[in-house]
Amino acid sequence: MNKKILVLCTGNSCRSIIAEALINAHIKGVEAYSAGVRASGVVNPNATRVLQEAGIWRDGYHSKETQEIKDIDFDLVITVCNNAKESCPIFEKKAKVIHVGFEDPDGKEYAEFVKTFNEIKTKLIPIVENEL
């Protein structure tokens, strides 16, 4: 049975989408999701681009509110921004919640998205593997 992980951010347009894709691509036996506490409803085109160039973009990735995933029992919830950490919703199943923050590349040049992608890959993936 796959462990279920939620990556939570504010807008669910950059960091959490990138983290969701990286976890799904690099950790076996895990099903990652992402959501926003105030989702923008749009995936940043540079986030899409960096994931496409890495070969891990899925058409199903989209910006969503926590309401959309409320019925999923998560084993681990990861907040990747301080706002999400402060306003993390309570889930019915007592999931472990951890915070691993990353700078928001939104509004910046594409190179910042590549930097964020690499930071999430090198920092977050080992933490998630250790938490499971």
What order of strands is seen across the sheet that includes strand 30-36?
A: 30-36, 3-9, 76-79, 96-99
**C-alpha–C-alpha distance, residues 129 and 124, integer Å:** 9
Q: Which of 81, 84, 95, 128 is catalytic?
A: 81
Give the DSSP letter string of 75-104. Answer: SEEEE-SHHHHHTPPP-SS--EEEE-----
Whether 81 is a known active-site residue: answer: yes
Considering 5, 6, 8, 9, which one is annotated as catalytic?
Answer: 9
Active site residue 14: no
Cα–Cα dist 15/47, whole Å: 8
Name the active-site residue from 5, 43, 84, 88.
88
Examine the residue annotation and report whether 9 is marked as an active-site residue of this protein: yes
Task: List, by residue number, the catalytic residues.
Answer: 9, 81, 88
